[in-house]
Every structure is written in C-alpha cells, then in structure tokens.
Amino acid sequence: MKHDSAEMLAIRALGWIASQHELLPAFLAATGASPADLRQAASQPAFLRSVLEFLLQEDARVTAFCDEAGLPYSEPMQAHLMLLGEAGRNWT
C-alpha cells in the first residue's frame, strides 16, 4: 500500500466514523477533536493515524467499515502501518 492510499483510506474511515452516530462521540472524546475540527484535522498525518487506531480498537468496527466500503479486513491495519512509517516497523 502506498502512503497516499493509506491516507485516503483513513479519510474514508473518518467519514464512516462521522456517519455512525454511536461512534462519533467516542471518537471525538478519544481524540480531543470537536466536530468543527474534523475537516482541518483530516489533513494532518498524526490525526489520520488516530482515526485508524480508533477503528482498529474493535474488530466489529473494522468489519463494519470494511463491509460497507467493500474492502478486505486487512486494509485498515495495512494503512495504519504505512502511516506509522519507520515507527511501525520497529515496534519491539
């Protein structure tokens, strides 16, 4: 997966989270963002990583997002690792 593709997947995940009325408040609380911050924050790599980290916290989130988006269940983790860069490769 390329970096641009990983960012696009994270932006898609953000849109999905924002459309899930039960998830959005938990996401905002976890990130400290407000609804007004989301558009600007979506251009920041660290924020995009946090989107994927939130999604990856629960298998049910991953499967629901991937089912709706028509993606393999492994895509969010691959995107997350790409956005982590070297830090994701050296986690031990």
Q: In this structure, what token pair is assigned to residue 39?
A: 């558009």
- Residues 17, 42: Cα–Cα separation, whole Å: 13
Rounded-to-integer distance, Cα 67 and Cα 35, Å: 25
Q: At what angle do helices 75-84 and 59-69 cross, to 10 degrees?
A: 110
Residue 90 pLDDT more than 80? no
pLDDT tens, 40-66? 888 888 999 999 999 999 999 999 999
* Structure confidence at residue 43 (pLDDT): 87
Asked if residue 72 lies in contact with residue 66, where contact means CB atoms within 8 angstroms, the answer is yes
Residue 89 token pair: 């490769």
| pLDDT surpassing 60 at residue 87 | no
